[in-house]
C-alpha cells in the first residue's frame, strides 16, 4: 500500500518539482515574506485554506487532491487538462552567480567591464518577467547586514557604471575594493568632495568602514533578495 506523505513533505516536493526556491515560491504566491511557507515546509505549522487556494490558483497544473491529501499525481497528467498560468519560462532569467566559495577567485579575476561570463549561473524568477542588464547573484557571507540580509542569503545586484558611483546612496550595495568583496549600505557618499565612500553595516555590531575612491574596483546595487535561509 502506498505511503501518503504529510503536507510539509508534499509542499517541499512541489517546490522542488517547480524548480523554485522556497523564497521564490512565496513571492509567486504574493507573500512579501517567506516565513509562512518556511514554517509549513519545516513542519512547524499547517497551511491555511487561503494558502492552499493560493497555491492551486497560482500553479494551475497542480492537482488539488494530491496537495490536500496525497491522492493521485502531483500534476494533472494531460497538458491541456488545465491552463498552466504560472510560472512560465519567460519569467526566469539565469544570472551569473558568485557563491561565497568563489568570491576570492571573482575578486582576483575581476575586470572593470563587469564581465562574469565564466561564472556559474543562478536562475531567478520574476513575476512580471523583468530582467536586469549587467546583473549578478551574490551569496552573502556573514551577518553584518542582519536582520535584513542573513548569512547565506543570495541577492540580485546590478552593476553600477563608474561614472555613477558618486551618486549612489541610501541603498544596499555589493562593493569590491582592494582584495575585499562586501555587501554593505551606502549612507555617506563623499566621492565627489572627499573621494571617500563610507560603507555601513545594518547590524550595530558590524560598524562602518571608509573606502577611498582609488581602492574601489566595482559597485553593484542590490535590487532584491532572491533566496534567504530561515533561522
- Residue whose cell numbers read 568563489: 102
pLDDT of residue 77: 64
pLDDT in tens, 149-201: 889 899 999 999 999 999 998 899 999 999 999 999 998 899 999 999 999 99
pLDDT of residue 84: 42
pLDDT in tens, 46-57: 888 888 888 988
- Residue whose cell numbers read 497560482: 58
Q: Which three cell numbers stand for residue 53?
A: 487556494
- Domain ranges in the chain? 7-86, 90-227
pLDDT in tens, 69-102: 888 888 876 544 444 444 445 678 889 999 888 8
90-227 maps to which CATH number? Answer: 2.10.109.10
Q: For the residues of 117-131, what is the DSSP string, one character each?
A: TTSEEEEEE-TT---
pLDDT of residue 171: 92
Task: Select from 161, 136, 141 the least CA-distant residue to 224.
Answer: 136
**In terms of C-beta density within 10 A (0-12 exposed, 13-18 middle, 19 or more buried), how is residue 65 classed?**
exposed
- Residue whose cell numbers read 561570463: 117
- Return mean pLDDT, the chain: 84
- The mean-pLDDT minimum among 97-111, 141-155, 205-219 falls in 97-111
- The mean-pLDDT minimum among 30-39, 191-200, 211-220 falls in 30-39
Q: Quick one: CA torsion of 183, 188, 193, 197, rounded to 10 degrees?
A: -20
> How far is residue 158 from each of residues 138, 149, 178, measured CA to CA in Å?
10, 17, 20
pLDDT at 207 over 70: yes
pTM for the whole structure: 0.60
Query: Cβ of 40: how many Cβ atoms within 10 Å?
Result: 21
Q: Which three cell numbers stand for residue 157?
A: 545586484
Q: What is the largest CA-CA distance in the chain?
A: 74
8 vs 117 pLDDT, higher one:
8
Share of the chain above pLDDT 90, in %: 32
The reply to whether 7-86 and 90-227 are identical in fold is no
7-86 maps to which CATH number? Answer: 1.10.260.40
Amino acid at each position: 500500500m502506498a505511503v501518503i506523505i504529510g503536507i510539509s513533505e508534499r509542499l517541499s516536493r512541489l517546490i522542488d518539482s517547480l524548480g523554485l526556491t522556497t523564497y521564490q515560491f512565496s513571492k509567486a504566491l504574493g507573500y512579501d515574506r517567506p516565513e509562512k511557507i518556511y514554517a509549513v515546509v519545516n513542519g512547524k505549522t499547517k497551511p491555511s485554506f487561503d494558502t492552499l487556494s493560493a497555491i492551486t490558483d497560482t500553479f494551475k497544473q497542480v492537482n488539488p487532491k494530491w496537495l490536500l491529501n496525497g491522492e493521485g499525481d502531483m500534476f494533472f497528467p494531460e497538458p491541456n487538462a488545465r491552463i498552466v498560468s504560472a510560472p512560465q519560462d519567460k519569467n526566469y532569467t539565469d544570472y551569473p552567480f558568485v557563491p561565497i566559495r568563489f568570491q576570492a577567485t571573482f575578486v582576483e579575476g575581476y575586470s572593470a567591464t563587469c564581465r562574469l561570463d565564466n561564472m556559474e549561473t543562478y536562475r531567478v524568477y520574476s513575476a512580471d518577467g523583468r530582467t536586469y542588464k549587467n546583473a549578478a547573484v551574490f551569496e552573502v557571507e556573514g551577518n553584518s547586514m542582519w536582520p535584513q540580509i542573513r548569512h547565506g542569503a543570495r541577492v540580485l545586484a546590478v552593476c553600477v557604471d563608474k561614472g555613477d558611483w558618486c551618486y549612489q546612496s541610501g541603498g544596499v550595495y555589493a562593493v569590491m575594493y582592494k582584495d575585499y568583496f562586501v555587501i554593505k549600505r551606502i549612507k555617506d557618499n563623499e566621492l565627489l568632495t572627499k573621494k571617500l565612500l563610507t560603507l555601513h553595516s545594518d547590524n550595530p555590531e558590524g560598524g562602518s568602514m571608509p573606502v577611498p575612491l582609488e581602492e574601489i574596483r566595482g559597485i553593484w546595487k542590490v535590487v532584491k533578495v532572491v533566496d534567504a535561509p530561515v533561522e
